[in-house]
């Protein structure tokens, strides 16, 4: 049973890696896959002590490596988005620096010494 869960987790991880995380049309699919991933991990946790045979160990290591690759992919995308936001903010600051309009209330100046 554990091997089947690990094989399914590995399949889900491969599907996550195949999808383009930058494509907004993929968000629903990616969310569903991540929910399945979480459910499978919870199922593995519910088994408690997992026997340490070679096949289980290899599958677990493959799943862990795939998860790390996917996390790296997510982190890289997040950094790209942060960089783009920073560029937008810099452009906005430059535009405001050169096109700053000064507001001054209209009124009269009265010289009290006259």
Concatenated DSSP letters for 12-55?
Answer: HHHHHHHS-TT-GGGHHHHHHHHHHHHHHHHHHHHT-SPP--HH
Q: What is the mean pLDDT of residues 25-47?
A: 92
pLDDT at 91: 85
Q: What is the mean pLDDT of residues 71-77?
A: 94
| Model-wide pTM > 0.85 | no
**Structural contact between residues 73 and 21, judged by C-beta atoms closer than 8 angstroms:** yes
The domain limits of the chain are 2-94
Residue 37's closest CA among 66, 58, 57?
66
């Amino acid at each position: 049973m554990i091997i089947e869960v690990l094989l399914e987790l590995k399949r889900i991880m491969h599907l996550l890696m195949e999808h383009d995380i930058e494509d907004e049309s993929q968000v629903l699919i990616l969310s569903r896959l991540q929910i399945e991933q979480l459910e499978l991990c919870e199922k593995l946790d519910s088994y408690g002590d997992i026997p340490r045979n070679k096949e289980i160990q290899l599958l677990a290591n493959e799943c862990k490596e795939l998860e790390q690759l996917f996390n790296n992919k997510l982190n890289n995308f997040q950094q790209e988005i942060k960089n783009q936001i920073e560029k937008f903010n810099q452009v906005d600051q430059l535009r405001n620096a050169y096109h700053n309009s000064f507001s001054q209330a209209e009124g009269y100046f009265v010289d009290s010494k006259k």
